Amino acid sequence: MPLIYQPKKARKLSSTPSIAESSQVINSHAGEWTAIGENNHIIESIFGKYTYTMDDVTVNYAEIGKFCSIASHVCINPVQHPMDRVSQHHMTYRKVAYQFAKEDDEALFDWRRTHSVKIGHDVWIGHGATIMKGVEIGTGAVVGAGAVVTKDVEPYTIVVGVPARPIKRRFSKEVANQLLEIAWWDWPREKLEAHFEELNDLETFLKNHG
């Protein structure tokens, strides 16, 4: 029997954040028009307006800007184990679960929080990419599929590989600076609607707003 393609109906979003029931979100914040996909695991992170994640995404201690596109199986800030201890196992800090103590090692969790990840606006993170602790990714950047980002990424720069390295700029330095100055991601909804079609035409957009 031939397979019949049946397109999936587009999900309508709203100003209320959309979070899949299969996802676990702990002590985090999501802005308007955000969408958290299936089987996400998110801890103490912030998502700016219109940012979305696909399935099986992990985010720990991160601040993510507006209009970001995060593909499936991305891991942002994989948490570190204490390598300086005799044992790296999480029993040494998740003591309660293993009945070694009545309190967990909160100092280690505080240490993890100090190594947060910061991602700018309109960043695209490709399938299976990993963003390591303490990294900052500039606005408009692209992280290629499967990349492991260990160093900061400049705005409007494309990085690929393991470890990730820059291969090209999306736009010239001059155009990138113009876009950063315009900061369209901060526009209110009304202005965004009024100039929506211009987002598909760089030349017209810069002419009208640069």
The residues that are catalytic are 81
Bridging pattern class, strands 157-160 and 165-169: antiparallel
Location of structure tokens 């985010």 = 59
Q: CA-based angle 91:94:98, to the nearest 5?
A: 60
The pair phi, psi for residue 181, each rounded to 5°, is -70, -40
Instruction: Identify which of 79, 84, 42 has the alpha carbon closest to the alpha carbon of residue 63.
Output: 42
CA dist 158 and 12 (Å) reads 30
Asked whether the beta carbons of 143 and 129 are under 8 A apart, the reply is yes
Helices (H), the chain: 106-113, 173-182, 189-194, 202-209
Burial group, residue 94, by CB count within 10 angstroms (0-12, 13-18, 19+): middle
